[in-house]
């Protein structure tokens, strides 16, 4: 057992909330350690629909959450603009919907501080021609699209650059208590197979739906309700704006344009804890999403579905037990000294991706009060890495880079694209005299997403990736139309990955393709099987 150095704060969980808390805490001067058993954004953060909520969706049923959303919507547009596309949003009243609900919806939005403008059906069709031509009415709201992977990476980079330690692939095996106080955690490193003890006066449980199990390690109980939401990824950008049904939140009523694809969601199904790690999209959910999605935008009927995926919402039950959509999406912050008589232990859960920064602020405010530190939160003011410089300026600095590659690089990394450009330029210079490798730095590794080999090498060196799955979350390799068919063998060769890593990546991709394996998706999967099974000799292991 290795005794590691002491910290002021230990944060368990590498989703957006944990990373945001690490960033906030280190900016306030604390010595911070974040522990994550896998890679960052592998839980609910990396499996949502990417909607930049205005809060309108919750205005009628959960006004507290709606107010939190619109407040953070405004802040994120300022501090994380490279992760956001300002698509705008429409709430549509379809032929089978009650038009009288629209008035209640608009009034609720106004009461929550959300701009909501009523449009005629004709005006809505003009703004977004993809909408159902038979709609009865529409309301325009300030929704948008947000990239959860880039947002998470930006928080990781900023926390690390300000001195926080981020331990990925480290699993918490126990909470260290001394009488009625938590003083540290026991950790197992999956890479070195080493056990460690680390100590801090405050430990934060920020693991989302797994918070119940982590709490039990400390000898206390919190009640979480696993609630699965399934979504579809369409292979084209069908709609211009984020589309919602103008009704109380229900199944299959959100359509989000994201980069070159469209995301359709979502369902709400309570599941047992033992299904969380392997939550599957059922044929019934696919049928529901396809049918309801075509009501919002009929063009979906003619659009290829790339994959299906699901995430588990971290819903915390406070007071009387509820389930599914009846549980508030609001923030839940437990000070276990007050709640359970256990000092030095905090749980932050609930909320949404939209409110991760606010959740972090509340958590670090509590940490400050416990440790007697008077330091205010600055995360609402300081832009994240990637959003610190105007895109026009970044574009000018990279003028010598091919335009398509330049545009896609800036879209993913914002102003940090300059660092990647400089890295690639150095590689280019180093390889000029070697004809075989001359074009490696600028060669396109992933045609679907316009990702170069140089960007992949940068991610390996600077962004803390350990495998092909990590690479996907940092650069979008394998997330395009071919789902890794073309690019993953190239990436594996570049990074020196073995056969097992390639098979694991392809199997994970297949999990999302299998529920929608008909038409072009099935044909594409057969080509992938032929390439990796026949040419590379992986046989049937790639499925």
Distance CA 153, CA 149 (A): 6
540: number of Cβ within 10 Å: 8
Query: Taken in order 40, 383, 261, 44, is the CA torsion positive or negative?
Result: positive
Helix (H) / strand (E) containing 155: helix 148-161
* In contact, 503 and 538? CB cutoff 8 Å: yes
Which ranges of 265-355 does DSSP label H, i.e. alpha helix? 283-296, 336-340
Condensed to tens digits (0 to 9), the pLDDT of residues 25-71 reads 999 999 999 999 999 999 999 999 999 999 999 999 999 999 999 99
Give the confidence band of 329 by pLDDT, cuts at 50, 70, 90: low
What is the reported pLDDT for 1? Answer: 62
Q: Which of 158-167, 263-272, 324-333, 340-349 is the least confident region? A: 324-333
What's 84-145+228-310's CATH class?
alpha beta
Concatenating the DSSP letter of every residue in 232-252 gives EEESS---SSEEEESSSS-SS
What is the reported pLDDT for 333? Answer: 94
Condensed to tens digits (0 to 9), the pLDDT of residues 420-444 reads 999 888 876 665 555 444 456 778 8
Q: How far is CA 53 from the centre of its chain?
A: 14
Omega of the bond leading into 266 within 30 degrees of 0 (cis): yes
CA dihedral 75, 77, 82, 84 (to 10 degrees): 120
What is the reported pLDDT for 282? Answer: 94
498: number of Cβ within 10 Å: 10
Distance CA 19, CA 156 (A): 6
Delimit the CATH 3.30.9.10 region(s) of the chain: 84-145+228-310
| Short-list 78, 73, 43, 81, CA closest to 57 | 73
Distance CA 513, CA 502 (A): 17
Q: How far is CA 358 from the centre of its chain?
A: 16
Delimit the CATH 3.50.50.60 region(s) of the chain: 2-44+149-223+329-371
Pairing of strands 84-85, 89-93: unpaired
Q: Is 38 helix (H, G, I), strand (E, B) or coil?
A: coil
pLDDT at residue 540 tops 70: no
pLDDT at residue 289 tops 80: yes
Q: What b-and-e string marks burial along 299-313, b requiring 16 or more CB atoms within 10 Å of the CB?
A: bbeebebbbbbbbbb
> Both tokens of residue 425?
């330029």
The percentage of the chain sitting over the pLDDT mark of 90, rounded to a whole number, equals 71
Distance CA 366, CA 388 (A): 28
Condensed to tens digits (0 to 9), the pLDDT of residues 515-537 reads 999 888 888 888 888 878 766 76
Condensed to tens digits (0 to 9), the pLDDT of residues 232-242 reads 999 999 999 99
> Both tokens of residue 361?
């602020």
What's 2-44+149-223+329-371's CATH class?
alpha beta
What is the reported pLDDT for 433? Answer: 52
> Both tokens of residue 383?
């832009």
């Amino acid at each position: 057992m290795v005794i590691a150095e002491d910290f002021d704060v230990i944060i368990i969980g590498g989703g957006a909330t944990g990373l945001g808390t690490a960033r906030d805490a280190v900016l306030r001067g604390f010595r911070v350690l974040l522990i994550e058993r896998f890679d960052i954004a592998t839980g609910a953060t990396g499996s949502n629909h990417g909607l930049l909520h205005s809060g309108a969706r919750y205005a009628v049923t959960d006004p507290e959450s709606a107010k939190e959303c619109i407040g953070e919507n405004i802040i994120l547009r300022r501090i994380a603009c490279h992760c956001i596309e300002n698509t705008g949003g429409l709430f549509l009243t379809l032929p089978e919907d009650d038009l009288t609900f629209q008035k209640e919806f608009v009034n609720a939005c106004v009461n929550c501080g959300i701009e909501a403008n009523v449009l005629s059906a004709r005006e809505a069709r003009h703004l977004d021609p993809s909408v159902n031509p038979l709609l009865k009415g529409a309301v325009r709201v300030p929704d948008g699209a947000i990239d959860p992977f880039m947002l998470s990476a930006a928080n990781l980079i900023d926390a690390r650059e300000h001195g926080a330690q981020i331990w990925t692939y480290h699993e918490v095996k126990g909470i260290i208590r001394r009488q009625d106080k938590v003083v540290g955690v026991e950790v197992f490193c999956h890479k070195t197979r080493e056990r460690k003890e680390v100590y801090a006066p405050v430990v934060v449980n920020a693991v989302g739906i797994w918070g119940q199990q982590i709490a039990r390690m400390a000898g206390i109980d919190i009640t979480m309700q696993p609630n699965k939401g399934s979504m579809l990824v369409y292979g084209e950008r069908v709609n211009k704006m984020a589309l919602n049904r103008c009704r109380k939140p229900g199944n299959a009523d959100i359509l989000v344009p994201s980069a070159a694809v469209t995301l359709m969601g979502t369902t709400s199904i309570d599941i047992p804890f033992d299904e969380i790690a392997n939550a599957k999209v059922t044929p019934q959910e696919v049928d529901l999403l396809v049918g309801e999605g075509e009501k919002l935008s009929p063009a979906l009927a003619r659009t290829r579905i790339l994959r299906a995926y699901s995430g588990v919402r971290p819903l915390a039950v406070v007071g009387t037990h509820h389930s599914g959509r009846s549980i508030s999406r609001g923030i839940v912050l437990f000070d276990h000294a007050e709640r359970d008589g256990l000092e030095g232990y905090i749980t932050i859960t609930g909320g949404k991706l939209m409110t991760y920064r606010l959740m972090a602020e509340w958590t670090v405010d509590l940490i400050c009060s416990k440790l007697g530190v008077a330091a205010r939160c600055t995360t609402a003011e300081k832009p994240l890495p990637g959003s610190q410089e105007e895109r026009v300026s970044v574009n000018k600095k990279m003028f010598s880079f091919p335009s398509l590659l330049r545009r896609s690089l800036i879209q993913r990394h914002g102003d940090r694209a300059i660092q990647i450009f400089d890295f690639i330029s150095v590689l280019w210079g180093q390889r000029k005299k070697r004809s075989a490798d001359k074009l490696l730095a600028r060669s396109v590794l992933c045609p679907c997403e316009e990702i170069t080999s140089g960007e992949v090498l940068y991610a390996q060196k600077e962004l803390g990736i350990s495998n092909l799955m990590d690479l996907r979350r940092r650069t979008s390799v394998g997330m395009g139309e071919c789902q890794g068919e073309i690019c993953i063998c190239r990436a594996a060769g570049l990074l020196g990955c073995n056969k097992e890593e390639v098979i694991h990546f392809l199997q994970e991709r297949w999990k999302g393709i299998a529920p929608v394996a008909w038409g072009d998706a099935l044909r594409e999967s057969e080509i992938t099987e032929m390439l990796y099974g026949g040419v590379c000799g992986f046989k049937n292991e790639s499925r």
